[in-house]
Structure formats: C-alpha cells, structure tokens
C-alpha cells in the first residue's frame, strides 16, 4: 500500500473534506480563490505548517498559554472600548 502522507497524518488527510459550490459558468480562478479562502479559514494551512516538525509537549503548552493570553488581552481591549 503506497504512503499518501506523513505517518500520523494519514487518517487526518483522509477525513479532510472541503467542498465548494460552483455556479454555472463560474471561472476556475474564482473557484480556486474560494477553496484557498475556505482552507485558510478552516486552519488547514496552519495545521500542516504546525505539524511539519515535532513540537515538544513543553513547547506546545507554552505556545497554547501564549495564545490564551492573546485572546484574553483582545477581549479586555474590546470590553474596555465598549465602556
């Protein structure tokens, strides 16, 4: 059986299904732009980029904590603007 991806990603790649609806006579470039936008919004590119190299569990915890702090800061900023 030929390998289609990187070991642990095989199952994730097989379950990945992004569909776009095309209208009649819609140009291919417009369809590709829709597909790229959908992939970017779903986090497909960032997921592949993140899994290119092994990330130690301690690095993963540090990164996720940093992301949480960023979300908290943004929420606080928005809350302070509303008042």
Residues found in the chain: 83
Q: Tokens 């990187």 belong to which residue? A: 6
Do 28 and 13 lie in one domain? The reply is: yes
Residue with tokens 């732009």: 33
Same-domain check for residues 38 and 6: yes
- 19-78 per-position pLDDT tens digit: 888 888 889 899 899 989 988 888 888 888 888 899 999 999 999 999 999 999 999 999
Q: Domain check: are 17 and 45 in the same one?
A: yes
Number of C-beta neighbours around residue 14 at 10 A = 10
Do 2 and 28 fall within a single domain?
yes
Domain that holds residue 19: 1-52
Total count of domains within the chain: 2
Residue 28 and residue 61 share a domain: no
Tell me the helix, strand and coil percentages in the chain, rounded to 5.
65, 0, 35
Query: What are the backbone angles phi and psi of residue 53, rounded to the nearest 5°?
Result: -130, 155
**For the whole model, what pTM was predicted?**
0.50
**Claim to verify: residue 61 and residue 48 sit in the same structural domain:** no
Residue 41, token pair as written in the block: 């919004």
């Amino acid at each position: 059986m030929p390998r289609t991806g990187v070991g642990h990603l095989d199952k994730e790649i097989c379950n990945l299904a992004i569909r776009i609806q095309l209208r009649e006579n819609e140009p291919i470039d417009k369809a590709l732009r829709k597909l790229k936008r959908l992939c970017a919004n779903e986090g497909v590119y960032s997921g592949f980029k993140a899994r290119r190299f092994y990330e130690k569990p301690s690095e993963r915890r540090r990164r996720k904590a940093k992301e949480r702090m960023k979300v908290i800061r943004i929420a606080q900023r928005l809350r302070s603007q509303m008042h």
